[in-house]
Amino acid sequence: MVVSTQKKISGPLVVGVHGIFSLGVQSTDLLLSELDAKGYRTLEIDHGFKPAIFAGITARYYARKLIRQLDGETYVSAVAHSFGARIVLEAMQLGQTFEHIFLFNAAIPADARFPPNKYASITVVANPKDKILKWGKRLLSKLGYGDLGRVGYQGRSPRVVTCTNTVPDPNLFHQHGHAFTPAGLKAWAEVIHENIQAPF
């Protein structure tokens, strides 16, 4: 876990949660850096390389860790990639409230039930060509994995929207993390900045 060292910043807090088999250096860390430059405080929840079979245990453990690290912070938004979406969902189920949540290539069910009083809005950034989520759902659905980040949100909440217009990285074969190109990072950092209307 890394906390932004820019002590002079007193703006809103954005939490970043990466996926499994990753340390966030090619996904959420890059996005947090863009948000740092815009004046946000950032907090990285690092859960290292965890085997997929321990998904439920891992998600609940790191959701609790996330809540402890927030230490009662009242205005928090989140960006999550892949399995990181499950940690954010678990944190909500444990009582954590978020303002704006951005889920990139989320590896949770497309009809996920987000606790209605625990978020203001959720943006799902989906890629229909995501091969990791396609096969992940087929092979690991019994462990709670899904393809929300491939097919988009199929639940009923009007506060959850799906975006599929991000230009994929042509050099990324599996297309899992397609938004984390230099242009995509800047574009999404601006979208997040525009959506987070914090009382600061």
pLDDT of residue 200: 44
| Coil, helix or strand at residue 125 | strand
Beta carbons of 1 and 46 less than 8 angstroms apart: yes
CB–CB of 11/75 below 8 Å?
Answer: no
Band the pLDDT of 100: cuts 50, 70, 90.
very high
Q: How far is CA 80 from CA 10, 18, 200, in A?
A: 22, 6, 24
- d(C-alpha 43, C-alpha 68), whole Å: 12
163 touches 122 (CB < 8 A): no
The structure's pTM equals 0.87
Can you tell me the distance from the alpha carbon of 37 to that of 83, in angstroms, rounded to the nearest whole number?
26
Q: What is the pLDDT of residue 168?
A: 62
CA R_g for the chain:
15
pLDDT in tens, 139-188: 666 777 899 999 999 999 999 999 987 766 665 545 777 788 888 899 99
Query: pLDDT band for position 3 (50/70/90)?
Result: very low
Q: Which of the residue ranges 67-81, 112-126, 150-164, 168-182 would you say has the lowest mean pLDDT?
A: 168-182
Residue 170 structure tokens:
């042509």
In the chain, what are the domains?
2-195 (3.40.50.1820)
Per-residue model confidence as pLDDT tens digits over 16-42: 998 876 667 778 989 999 999 998 999
